[in-house]
Structure 1
C-alpha cells in the first residue's frame, strides 16, 4: 500500500455506484526502491537480437543497427539489475562486445547473465541443445568465456538456472566463488511429497541451503503446481551483524601498526581462545611442578605481547608481588631471570605472517633450557580458491600494490577447489644453529576431475597451532577450533586469474623470504599439460 496515494476525483454518477481503489498501483515505487529492489528483463525483441542476430555471420553487415536496439533498453537508468538471456554456445563474441560497451557507461546497475547449472558427464548424451553450443558441455566454460571477453567487469554477474538434474558436488561448488546473484528454480523441479506439498530432492535442498548461506537470492519461476505453505522466519540479528564482515578485505600489520582499542575489545570477547590458552598453561604448570613441591617451588611465567590484557590489572588488585608489567620491546629487553614457561600470542591468520618466529627467536633467551614455550609449534596451510568478488574488489584499486598484499578476510563467496596443504612449520623453542626462518615449499594440488574447468583467483591461508601437548588452536577448516573468531583466513590474490582445465596438475612453489626490514611471501604456479 502506498500511504501517499489518494483516489483521483471523479464526476459524480448517481445512476450507478463505483468502488474507488483504496491503494495505489504496485508499480508506484520510490526511486530508491526501483534502484535497490527491482530487476528488469530484456524484451523479446532484444533477446532475439542477442541470441540469433548479433553473432550470425550472415548478418554481419547489419549488426550495427541491432547493436543500437540492444544498447538503448539496457542503458535505462534506475534499476537494480537487468536479466539477460543465455548465450548460445561459446561463439558469443559480438554479444559480449555489445554488453561490454554497455558496461562501460552503465552507472550502478548490474547485468545478470542467465547461465544453466549444467555439466555433462556424458558429453554426447547429456548436452542440453537449448543452452549449449556444439562441442560445449560445461556451462561454467560458457560463463568464463563470456566473462573474459568482458574483462572481468564487476557489474557483470550470473543468474543460475537450476535444472531438474544437477552436476557433481565438486562441479556445483566452484560456482560459489563466482558472482552469482540469483538462482532460478523452475517449478517443474519440485517433487510432491506424501502429503501433497512441494519439495525438492535432497541434493536440491542442500544446494538451496548453500545458496542462502552465500546470500544468493532464490527465485521460483514457472506456473504454480502446488499449494505453497507459509515460509520460515527470517535471519536473526546476529546474522545481519555478521554479514557486514563477510568478504571484507583487511590489511593488517600489528607489529608495525598499533591496533585500535576496538580491535583489542573484539579479541577479548573470544572466550574460546582464552579457554584454550588457560588449559595449556594449567597443563604446563602441573607438568613443571609436581603437586608435592608446589608450595616450595616458584615458577616464573612470562607472557609476551599481552596487549591490554587482564594481567595489566592485577598489580592494582592485590597481586603486587606476583605480577610485574614491563613496557619494552622483547627483542631489546634483558630479563632479570629466566622463565620456566614462555607464553605468547603472536599468531597471525597464516601462523607466521605476523612475524611470530622472528619475535620469539629474539625472546628465546628468556627461557630456561628445559623451559616450555606456549605455543610449542604452528603450521600454515593454503588451498586454491575461486573468489570473484575479492578479485574485483582488489582490481578496483587499479594498481599493482594491492595485488601484492595479503588480506585477512572472512571468506564467504568463495569456492574451495582442493584440500588444504601444509606449508611451513615453526617450533619453539628452536635451539638448532642451522635453522632459518626463510623457507620454501613445493605443493601439489589435485582438483577433482568432476569439477570441470575452474578459475583460480588466489589462495586461502590458514594455521593450526599446538599450544601444549594435546591443547590445540587453529582455523584450518578440517581441524578448526569451534566458535573461535579471533582469526579470519588470509587471502593471497593473483594478479591474473588462472584457468585450470579438468585433470591438470597444479604445482605451487611458495617462499617465505627474510629481509632486514620486511618478510614477504612469493608464490609461483606451474600447470602441466596432460596427455
Structure 2
C-alpha cells in the first residue's frame, strides 16, 4: 500500500490521535465539536511534532470553495504536501453548465502541479450538464473511465494542466537539482565599462591595460576579458593566475587554440603567494559562492590586492550576503535522516523548490574591494524578521542564503530573489538548517544572529535564533563545517 489517507483530527489537540489508534476512544479529539476556528496548519504542526517530524508523514489538503490569504497558502509549499482533495462543491458552473474553478483556485492548482502534488476529486456530481454527459457516455457503451460521473471534473483539472506555460529552458535544466557558468556575460559588461573608463578613445591604440584574472579556472573570465577588449577596441595584457594544476592544463590548451600566446601569460600559483612582475590596472576574480564570501573571496583577494595599482579597479567591487527564514520539511527531513549533529551544523548548496519563504531576505555581510584599510574579515549581524499577520503560524526549518555582487558601477550579478540576474544557473542558494525547527506565530518577530569567524587555518559560520524561542549556537568554533584556508 503506497499511501493511506486518514481523516484530519478535530479540535485543538490530537495527542491520542497521533498514536494512530485502531479503536476510537471516546475521549479522543476526533469526537470534539467546537465552534472555534482552528488553523489547519496548527493541527498539522501539533500532529507532526508528536510524530517527531517523521519523513513518511505527509499532508492531504482539503480545498474548499473559499481560500485563505496568499501568504497563508504559501506556507504549505514548504510542508510535506502530497495531495490536494477538491470537493465537487468547490467548483463553479460556467455559462455552458460545466464545472470550472475560480481564478484563485486555478492559480493554486497550477502551483500544486508545479510541486508534483496529486489532485484528488471528491464528492458527487453536482453539475447537471456533467451528469448528462456521464449518462450519454453510459448509453454509448464507452469505457468505464469515460463513464465515471466525476469525469467532467477530472477533464477540467486536466485542461488546467494542459494550458500551463511550458517550463523555461533554465527551469528544465534545473529540474534534476530541485531540493537535492553564466557569469562571463556580466563580467564582460563590467570589463567593457572599466576599459572605457580607464583608457580614453584617443589613447586606445597606444595604451595597454594590464588585467589580472585571479582564480582563472579553465578560462571563461580570460575569454570574457579579451572579448571586452575587442568590443571596446582597447589593448590588453592578461595574467591568468590559477593554482589548480588540472585547470592549468586546460588553460594552456585554450590559449594555444585561440592564438592568445602573445597576450595571455599563464601563472601556475596561489594568488596569495605569487609575486607579480608588474601592477595591475584591473583585477578580475570569480571567487563568489552562493553566500557571497563562503568560498574565501575576501581572504584570497586580500592576498591579490597587493599587486593592484593605487587607482586600480577590482571586479567585483563589492558583494553582500542575504538571509531569509524558510519552511522546508523536505530539506529538514533530509538533514535529520543522517542522525547526527554535524549535518545540522553544515551549510548546503541546493536548488530550493519545495519551500515557503516566510519573510523578505535581509542583508548580512558586505565586503568591498579594494579593501578599506586593514579591516577584519570576521563579521557579526543580528537580524529581525517579521512574519506577516496573514501568513498564520509557521515552522522555520532553517535559512536560505543568497548573494548580490556589484561587479563595476551599475553592473550587478546575484541570486537574491528580488534582484536576481535573469537566466543564471551558476549558483543555487545555500541552506543553513536548524537543529530544532522554530515555531513562529502570525505577526511575530524572529531574531537571528549570524557570525563569520576565522582561525589560522579555517573560516566558518555560526548561527542561532534568540527569539521567539532560543536555539543553541550552531557550529560553535567550526566544529562541524568550515572552509580551509
Alignment of 1:168-183 (within 5 A): 168-183=69-84
2:2 equivalent among 77, 80, 83: 80
Of 429, 437, 440, which aligns to 2:380? 440
Within-5 A mapping of 1:331-346: 331-346=272-287
Q: 1: CA distance between counterparts of 2:21 and 2:399?
A: 30
Give the alignment partner of residue 297 of structure 2, picking from 343, 346, 356.
356
CA distance in 2, matches of 1:170, 1:153: 25
Q: In 2, Cα distance between the equivalents of 1:281 and 1:99?
A: 68
CA contact (8 A) 1:507 1:526 kept: yes
The residue correspondences of 1:295-306 to structure 2 (distance < 5 A) are 295-306=205-216
2:314 corresponds to which of 370, 373, 376: 373
Q: Is it true that 1:522 corresponds to 2:454 in the alignment?
A: no
Instruction: Kindly tell me the number of residue pairs found equivalent between the two proteins.
Output: 400
**Residue 15 (structure 2) pairs with residue 93 (structure 1):** yes
1:61 alignment partner in structure 2: none
Name the CA distance, whole Å, in 1 between partners of 2:189 and 2:439.
45
Which of these residues, 369, 372, 386, is aligned with residue 428 of structure 1? Answer: 369
Give the 3-state SS of the residue equivalent to 2:377 in structure 1.
coil
- Assess if the C-alpha contact under 8 Å between 2:291 and 2:430 holds in 1: yes
> 8 Å contact 2:440–2:468 — kept in the other structure?
no
Change (3 A) 1:291 1:334: same
Q: Which runs of 5+ in 2 are unaligned?
A: 23-29, 131-151, 223-250, 470-485
Structure 2 residue 413 is the aligned partner of structure 1 residue 473:
yes
Q: Does 1:279 align with 2:189?
A: yes
Cα distance change of structure 1 residues 237 and 350 upon mapping to structure 2, 3 Å threshold: closer
* Contact 2:405–2:414 (Cα < 8 Å) also in 1: yes
Is residue 321 from structure 1 mapped to residue 262 from structure 2 by the alignment? yes
Name 1:118's counterpart in structure 2. none
Pair 459,131 (structure 1): closer, same or farther in 2 beyond 3 Å = farther
- Post-superposition offset of 1:315: 4.0
In the alignment, structure 1 segments of 5+ residues that lack a partner are 1-78, 101-128, 249-266
Residues in 2 aligned to 1:503 and 1:130: alpha-carbon distance in whole angstroms: 32
Structure 1 length as normaliser, TM-score? 0.72
Structure 1 residue runs of 4 or more that deviate by more than 6 Å after TM superposition: 129-132, 234-240
The aligned residue for residue 480 of structure 2 is none
Q: Is 2:335–2:344's contact at 8 Å kept on the other side of the alignment?
A: yes
Rate the CA distance shift 1:498–1:237 in 2: closer, same or farther, 3 A.
closer
Q: CA 1:418 to 1:132, structure 2 compared with 1: closer, same or farther past 3 Å?
A: farther
Deviation at 1:136, TM superposition (A): 5.2
Helix, strand or coil at the partner of 1:342: strand
Change (3 A) 1:422 1:370: same
More strand by share: 2
Could you list the per-position Cα deviations for residues 125-149 of structure 1 after superposition, in whole angstroms to 9, with x for gaps in the alignment?
xxxx999756452010000000001
What is the deviation of 1:364?
Answer: 0.5
Q: Residue by residue, what CA displacement relative to the aligned partner does 1:72-99 show, whole Å, maximum 9, x if unpaired? A: xxxxxxx211111111223321221237
| The 10-residue stretch of structure 1 (493-502 or 219-228) with the greater mean CA deviation from structure 2 | 219-228
- 1:15-48: CA deviation from partner (whole Å, max 9, x where unpaired): xxxxxxxxxxxxxxxxxxxxxxxxxxxxxxxxxx
Distance 1:99 1:303, change over 3 A: farther
The residue that corresponds to 2:201 in the other structure is: 291
1:27 match: none
2:291, 2:338 → 1: CA distance? Answer: 24
Deviation at 1:466, TM superposition (A): 0.6
Who is 1:11 aligned against? Answer: none
Residue 384 of structure 1 aligns to a residue whose secondary structure is strand
- Distance in 1 separating the partners of 2:372 and 2:172: 49
